[in-house]
Structure 1
Amino acid sequence: MNILLTGASGFVGRELVRELQQRADISLALALRSPGRSSGPTTFVVGELAVDTDWLAALARQQAVIHAAARAHIMKDEVADPLAEYRRVNVEGTLNLARQAAAAGVKRFIFISSIKVNGEATVNGKAFGADDKPAPEDAYGLSKLEAERGLIQLAAETGMEVVIIRPPLVYGPGVKGNFASMIKLVEKGLPLPLGAIHNQRSLVGIDNLVDLIICCIDHPAAANQVFLAGDGEDLSTTELLRGVGKAMGKPARLIPVPAGLLQLGATLLGKKAMAQRLLGSLQVDISKTCQLLDWKPPYTVEEGLRRCFGRSN
C-alpha cells in the first residue's frame, strides 16, 4: 500500500516513520515543510500546511494519507489571534489537503486529532467516549473539532474514507512538554508535594498510539469512525510519578499534601491551568476502539514507561 505521511518530523510522526519503514507491504512517502532528508522514504517538499498548498505531486498514486501535521497546542501562545492561526493551519490547511486527496483518488484519510475535542476534564469517574458530544474549551481543541467536521462532510460528499483518532497525552522516548518537565523533576530528586493525589488520568504510550494508527490504515471497520486512543489504564498523578521514578531507577520523592490545599495555592498564584493538569481527572473510554477494531494496546503503562527510558527490567 502507498501511504503519504505528514508531520514526519514531529514526535508521533518520527515513530510512525520508524515503524512503517519496517513494513514490507507499505511504500511510504513523506510530505515535508522544507528539505531535510537525504535517504529513506520518498520525500515531497510541500511547504506550509495552508489553504493554498499544492499537494498534487505528493498525492499521486497514494492510497492512504496519515495526517499528523498540525499547529500544535501552545501553552503560552503569543500570536494576536490564536484561534485564527489554529484555524488557518489545522482547519483550512487540513481540509485543503483532504480535498486534493479525494480528487487524487486516495481511499482513506487518517486524521490525528486530540482528546481536547471532547474537553479538558472528566468528573465523577465518567470517562470521555468517542461518540460523546464534543466540548472543546480552547482554540486548539476547537480547531481540531472544526477540522473533524469538515472531514466528515467531505467523506460524505466524495466517498473517501475518513478515520479520526483522538489521543490524550502521548509519552515516549524524546517526549517534550509537560511530561518532559515531570521527568526532569523526578530525575533531579526534588521533593514534590504530590504524594496524595487521587485523580485519574488516561495516557497513551507512543508505541500504543502508532500501533493503533497502523491498525486503522486498512481495517474495514475503521472507515468513517472516531476513535479514542489510550493505554487502557488510568493513573493518578501520584501513581504516574512513582511509575516514572521506577522506570528511571530513581524513586520519586513525594510529599503527601492534600489536593485541596494545592488547588488553593495554585489559584492564588494564578496557576489554575497547571493545577488542573496535575490534580484534575481526564479519562478516556477506549472500549469502542478495542471492540470495533479487535485491538488492544500492545504495551502496559509500566512497559511503556520502561521503553521511555530504554530500560528492560
Structure 2
Amino acid sequence: MDRRPAYYALRIAVVTALYVAGWAALVVIGDSWWTLLDAVFLAFVFGQVALLAHDIAHRQVFRLRRATEVSGRLVGNLCIAIGYGFWRDKHTRHHTHPNNEELDPDIHPSVILWTQGQARAAQGLPRLVAPVQAFLFFPLLTLEAFNLRLGSIRSLGDRSLKDRGWEAGLLGAHFAAYLGALFLALPPGKAIAFLLAHQCLFGIYLGSVFAPNHKGMPTLRGTDRTDFLRRQVLTSRNVRGGRIIDILFGGLNHQIEHHLFPSMPSPHLRRAQAIVRGHCQELGIGYLETSLTESYRQALASLHHAGAPLREARTT
C-alpha cells in the first residue's frame, strides 16, 4: 500500500514528454496529411494521460487531498478536457456498486444496453441498436471521448460540483488551446480530419481499456446484499499479460486487485495478485483471469445476449 513517488515522478515525466512531443510534431509536420499519424500517436498519449489522472483521483500518487485535487484538475481538465469532478463522482459510484444495474453509472442504459431487462424496457434508438449492439460496440467507442466531454460540460451546471469555476476555466482553456493549435497549424479540412481521427481513436483506446474489466461479468441489483469481497471480485475480470499490457492498461488489467484496494499504486497490483488469488481460492470465490482477446469475446457475447429479447421480438 506504500506510495511510489519515484515511479510516479518518472511516469509523469515520460507522459509529459510524449504529450509535448505530440504537439511539437503537429507544428513540425505542418500542412500535410502525415499529421494524421501524429493524431494516432496523440490518441495513445491522451489515453496515457487519462490513466494517470485515474491514479491521481484514487489518491495513489499524492498523500494530501489538495495536491490530489489540483493535479487531477490540471491533468484531467486542462490536458485532456475530461472534468475531474465529473469523472471522480461517476467513478466513485462505480467502485462502490460495480455492475449494479441500478447504482453503477457505467452500466446505466444508454445507446448500449447491458442486460436483457434493460433491453425489454428500451425505447427509441437503444431499442433499434440493441439487437446488433455487439457488432456496433467498437464503432460506437469512437464517440466515447465526445461523450465524456459532454458529461464534463453538463456537470458544470451542478451546483454541488466543487470548484466549478476552476473546472470550467480549465476546460475552456483546453478547448481554446486545442482548437487554436489545430487551425493555426493546419488548413480547415486537415484540422477537422485530425480532430476526428484523434478523438475517435482516443475514445476507442479508452473503451478498449475499460471494457474488459467488468463487461460480461455478473450484474447485481440495488437489493442485493453481497459482501464487499464478493461484490468486487465476482463482478471484475483480470487480463493476463506482461509489462506491455500493464503499460497499455495502466495496471487496470489487474482489475480485481484494483477494486479491492483502489488506493494501491498501480505498479503494486501485480505483486498483490498472488495473495488475492490465493485468498479467493481458499474461500471458494470465483477469480476470473483471461487473455485480452477472450475478455473482449466474453464482453461482446454478453452484449449479444442482452439484445436477445429484441431479436426474438422482431422474429415474432
**Structures share fold, TM-score greater than 0.5:** no
In terms of fraction of residues, the more strand-rich structure is 1
**Greater relative contact order (Cα 8 A, min sep 6): structure 1 or 2?**
2
In terms of fraction of residues, the more helix-rich structure is 2
Task: Give the TM-score, by structure 2 length.
Answer: 0.31
